[in-house]
A and B are shown apart, each in its own frame.
Chain A
């Protein structure tokens, strides 16, 4: 039995309107039926575009959001139905590290107060002296000086603040820590340090992690299993290596194809799958397969009408697509005129190659993402197999307009592809839409 099991978890936020008394006029289907399980001592990486419901799911596990439906079974207890006070007691064992290190620390509390508050609430330590000793211990573990105790959050650097956030979770001696984009607010140079710290802590304390990220590179390094989320649901789940070696869901394929490969030769041959249009609104998700509005392989049958379940396709590699086998076998071809408007406006799964190095000083600061508009300039499809491909003009608001005609020679297409790869690199770490 897994330590943490989510069973068809749904979190729907009511959309309210009304002059005097609020009426519910609809719902945001932020999380819509997610099942997954996490084994003790393992790390589950959850990735997906901005707004797909990762944070909401993570918070639902701790019941920081109301769970509309489904079960969250932690160590044999269904948290979803637990009364408030009992849930509060369970929170000691399930902790969270937040995305925004500064925002998650009360500006008016010093570090000792922030760290001891939770301990006091759970009756850990007889008195403040005992708690302070314990806190000093933990501070040392996360690499903070003990004189940090009397200081305030704004006196620390971003990386240090995240260490405080981690320490806040650790003082309660939790079993599970949910890390919601633990490094995405940090400088690239500091990201590796924090990821390393999380890994070390897992080893020494036997922690179980649910790590949320929009950055495939971050999760890959530390996850045992990775789940890919799209619009409130899991579309693929597999052991980390298997997922990277052979993504099977069209969405994952597209995500992976956006990651540049360090080897220039491989990079040149890399097939890039670009997605059409924007992420649909979770308030009005597409029927059938959630991905069918953007899927390059979308089929006439089933895709728009039936929601594909997440099924094991062998070796624990689960995929939610009606045509996994056919796509794998190559019997169904890409149907949509291949992608021109790559990832418009949304935060793509960023492709920074975060090198998780042991030495804290040698983090690759040179890789710091440049802030560029998220819109990727158009480029022609490099996949020349598709003769009928009609590459449309693509416009990047702030950048130059480029028109490329895909019916032109292969050589031209390849040129364009190269350019696009530059653009993709530039768009890495692009600000949220």
Chain B
């Protein structure tokens, strides 16, 4: 029950940020937030990390000095005897247990990791937003029946939120079977209730705003009010959450891969997969685990920093 309320409370607080749009125009709200973020170290560091990560993910694989799956130096490593090859001119990050170039694998893995993170976040965002819009629209303009629909949906999301997210993801992945798609779906599903509750919450805040009443008073149809009035004004917290979610998505995707639920082809590098492979040789060659681990930690940190900075910049209580 505490987990439930903690998570839900945090989401509700984020949803309340929408209130700020009441007093500021939509465009100037973000412009103002952007201005504040420019002077925030958190935002700058976060944005820099994300930019570097995206750059690596996009152009990295093209710059990879060697093939990511080619076991070019197979004869030089003897994992059974604890003999590895570390950093050297030819292989900047050394070799892995199959004699593949770690640096090339790391660059290619970045792209996979970004892909998994973005796709799973989008799954959560899109499905969650649909559920949230339904719930929010039902609650604000659906009358008594709508409120009942909303209550049912929200109780369901509360239950999902009350489960530890990794446990939920593992269960889903176990049902769906081992594949990259599984990881993306499992991680995405975990995000659904978060986005749903968030969007619904900020729609509720907006739904009570005077301009919505005014739109109703001039006789605009409900569907149009939801789509053209409430929804566009409810999106700011969702954008913040999407950024924060990328961090959790990357970590959770890596965790699932690490648990062996990811891409069944171990030859395709992905940071989570690389980490799980490195685990067996951690005693002899800890560096093999360090590269993907540091990659995951730093990118997750980048998204968290930027997301938090956005949240702060949009928060009317902190706005000067």
**Interface positions of A (Cβ within 8 A of B):** 20-22, 59, 62, 64, 88-89, 91-92, 95-96, 98-100, 102-109, 117-118, 121-122, 152-154, 165, 168-169, 172
19 A-B contacts (beta carbon < 8 Å): A22-B151, A59-B213, A64-B216, A88-B221, A89-B219, A91-B216, A92-B219, A95-B218, A98-B213, A102-B23, A103-B209, A106-B215, A106-B229, A107-B233, A108-B25, A108-B233, A118-B218, A121-B218, A154-B24
Q: How far is the CA of A432 from the CA of B210 in the complex (A)?
A: 18
Closest to A59 in B: B213
Chain B count of residues within 8 A CB distance of the other chain: 27
Which listed residue (A21, A107, A165) contacts B151, Cβ 8 A? A21
A-B contact count (CB 8 A): 81
Q: Chain B's interface: helix, strand, loop or mixed, by majority?
A: helix
Which listed residue (B209, B217, B229) contacts A95, Cβ 8 A? B217
A108-B233, A121-B219 given; name 5 further pairs at CB < 8 Å: A103-B210, A106-B233, A107-B211, A108-B25, A118-B219
B25 touches A96 (CB 8 A): no
Closest to A172 in B: B218
Chain A residues with CB below 8 A from B215, complex form? 106, 117
Supposing A107-B26, A108-B232 touch, asked if A62 and B217 sit within 8 A by C-beta, the answer is yes
Which listed residue (A64, A100, A103) contacts B217, Cβ 8 A? A64
B214 part of interface (Cβ distance < 8 Å): yes
B155 part of interface (Cβ distance < 8 Å): yes
A104 touches B211 (CB 8 A): yes
Supposing A22-B151, A106-B211, A106-B229 touch, asked if A91 and B25 sit within 8 A by C-beta, the answer is no
Which listed residue (A21, A96, A105) contacts B211, Cβ 8 A? A105
Supposing A20-B155, A21-B151, A153-B25 touch, asked if A98 and B219 sit within 8 A by C-beta, the answer is no
Q: Chain A's interface: helix, strand, loop or mixed, by majority?
A: loop
Q: How far is the CA of A69 from the CA of B221 in the complex (A)?
A: 25
What 7 A-B pairs come out closest when comparing CB atoms? Answer: A118-B218, A104-B210, A108-B26, A154-B25, A91-B219, A107-B25, A103-B210
Closest to B21 in A: A107
- B216, B217, B229: most-surrounded residue (chain A CB, <10 A): B217
B62 part of interface (Cβ distance < 8 Å): no
Chain B residues with CB below 8 A from A172, complex form? 218-219
Closest to B22 in A: A103
A152 touches B219 (CB 8 A): no
Q: How far is the CA of A104 from the CA of B224 in the complex (A)?
A: 17
B219 touches A122 (CB 8 A): yes
A154 touches B210 (CB 8 A): no
Chain A residues with CB below 8 A from B25, complex form? 107-108, 152-154
B220 part of interface (Cβ distance < 8 Å): yes
Q: How far is the CA of A117 from the CA of B218 in the complex (A)?
A: 8
B39 part of interface (Cβ distance < 8 Å): no
Closest to B219 in A: A91
Q: How far is the CA of A152 from the CA of B26 in the complex (A)?
A: 10
Q: How far is the CA of A153 from the CA of B28 in the complex (A)?
A: 12
A98 touches B210 (CB 8 A): yes
**Nearest chain A CB to B193 CB, angstrom units:** 16
Closest to A122 in B: B219
Q: How far is the CA of A152 from the CA of B21 in the complex (A)?
A: 13
Chain A residues with CB below 8 A from B209, complex form? 103
8 A Cβ contacts from B10-43 to A? 21-29
**Nearest chain A CB to B222 CB, angstrom units:** 8
Q: How far is the CA of A22 from the CA of B149 in the complex (A)?
A: 12
Q: How far is the CA of A165 from the CA of B221 in the complex (A)?
A: 19
Q: How far is the CA of A91 from the CA of B233 in the complex (A)?
A: 24
Closest to B158 in A: A20
Interface string of B219-239 (1 = CB under 8 A from A): 111001000010011000000
Chain A residues with CB below 8 A from B26, complex form? 107-108
**Nearest chain A CB to B219 CB, angstrom units:** 4
Q: How far is the CA of A44 from the CA of B39 in the complex (A)?
A: 54
**Nearest chain A CB to B63 CB, angstrom units:** 43
**Nearest chain A CB to B221 CB, angstrom units:** 7
Q: How far is the CA of A104 from the CA of B212 in the complex (A)?
A: 7
Which listed residue (B21, B214, B221, B229) contacts A98, Cβ 8 A? B214
Q: How far is the CA of A106 from the CA of B24 in the complex (A)?
A: 10
B24 touches A168 (CB 8 A): no
